[in-house]
Amino acid sequence: MEKTVNQKAWFLVLPVLVLVAFSAIIPLMTVVNYSVQDSFGQNNFFWAGLVWFEDLLHSPRMWNALGRQVVFSSIILAIEVPLGIFIALNMPKKGLWATVCLVLMSLPLLIPWNVVGTIWQVFARVDIGLLGYTLDSLGVDYNYTQGFYAAWTTLIVMDVWHWTSLVALLAYAGLQSIPDAYYQAARIDQASRWKIFRYIELPKMSGVLTIAILLRFMDSFKIYTEPFVVTGGGPGNATTFLSIDLVKMALGQFDLGNAAAFSIIYFLVILAVSWVFYTVMTNLDKKDGV
């Protein structure tokens, strides 16, 4: 049957477009305008061309922050995605315990970022924090305000604690949507546990996992509040991720032009990586016929 083409439905998108224009497009345009000018305060701007971009591309400061950011996002994705899938596979499928698990898993997601930062900042302190004090008593050389590895470990464990539930809940939703018939067929074929996971569960979860990976990548790549509260970017610059560096530049030094150019490069990197993730995963889906 021929489908009716009715483009009028697009008008229904208009309110969203207006909202997005105010919350994202207009601010982004302003950032582009700032990035090619210099400002000495009082809203006086002077044309600077592409100088800020050139400065940034030759500055080790931005490349180092970008490097730290990539390493951080890669580590947390490598931990949270498999761990989330593992938890989802082991959660009860129905009954009271399923509900209890779901509530417990959702708890970390409900806590605001700065509170998570504060919890871990206290928790990891050597003098009064349970974690820091215990590690110190066991003779582990742990001090996240001074040690590079301690600071990184604290931030990674904190992020895993905060966000693995998101991956687990999404994977769990994917698993719940698999009809029993698939498992019955697998049992008849005497498929091993690994084969059931590889050929039934994983393909059926791939849609929600795409969303989980995208969300976790974008969020971790933009992370600001938690490391700002826990380590403040230190020790030295050890945990100065892109957004921390950007805020230092924009609000600490008030270098609007420089910070605007930084924001645009930052935005382009996120856009490019997200697009690659999305494209690769949606195309894998199509190939698998899922």
Partner 1 sequence: MAWMAWTVPTALFFVFITALLAIFTVLAVKYPETPRIGMLRIETTRGDRLFITLLGSAFINLAWLGLTNVTQWGAVVICLIYAFAVFRWV
Binding site for partner 1 (CB under 8 A): 5, 7, 26, 29-30, 32-34, 36-37, 39, 43, 45, 47, 50, 53-54, 57-58, 265, 268, 271-272, 275, 279, 283, 286
d(Cα 229, Cα 246) in Å, to the nearest integer? Answer: 16
For residue 45, the minimal CB distance to partner 1 (Å) is 5
Cβ-based nearer residue to partner 1, 59 or 99: 59
For residue 262, the minimal CB distance to partner 1 (Å) is 12
d(Cα 168, Cα 161) in Å, to the nearest integer? Answer: 12
Q: Which residues contact 109 (CB under 8 A, 6 or more apart)?
A: 162, 163, 165, 166, 169
Cβ-based nearer residue to partner 1, 16 or 128: 16
For residue 26, the minimal CB distance to partner 1 (Å) is 7
How long, in residues, is the chain? 290
- In order, the DSSP letters of 218-262 are HHHHT--HHHHHHTTT-STTTT--HHHHHHIIIIIS--HHHHHHH
d(Cα 123, Cα 229) in Å, to the nearest integer? Answer: 13
Residue type at 235?
Answer: P
Q: Residue 257 corresponds to which tokens in the numbers above? A: 């032009």
Cβ-based nearer residue to partner 1, 175 or 256: 256
Cβ-based nearer residue to partner 1, 4 or 43: 43
Cβ-based nearer residue to partner 1, 230 or 264: 264
For residue 282, the minimal CB distance to partner 1 (Å) is 8
d(Cα 288, Cα 144) in Å, to the nearest integer? Answer: 45
For residue 4, the minimal CB distance to partner 1 (Å) is 13
Cβ-based nearer residue to partner 1, 151 or 264: 264
For residue 264, the minimal CB distance to partner 1 (Å) is 8
Cβ-based nearer residue to partner 1, 39 or 225: 39
Q: Residue 29 corresponds to which tokens in the numbers above? A: 């345009």
Q: 3-class SS at 145?
A: coil
d(Cα 127, Cα 142) in Å, to the nearest integer? Answer: 11
CB count in 10 Å sphere of residue 242 = 25
CB count in 10 Å sphere of residue 183 = 14
For residue 5, the minimal CB distance to partner 1 (Å) is 8
Determine how β-strand 45-47 pairs with β-strand 37-39.
Answer: antiparallel
Cβ-based nearer residue to partner 1, 34 or 241: 34
For residue 66, the minimal CB distance to partner 1 (Å) is 12
Could you tell me if 250 and 39 are in contact, meaning their C-beta atoms sit under 8 angstroms apart?
no
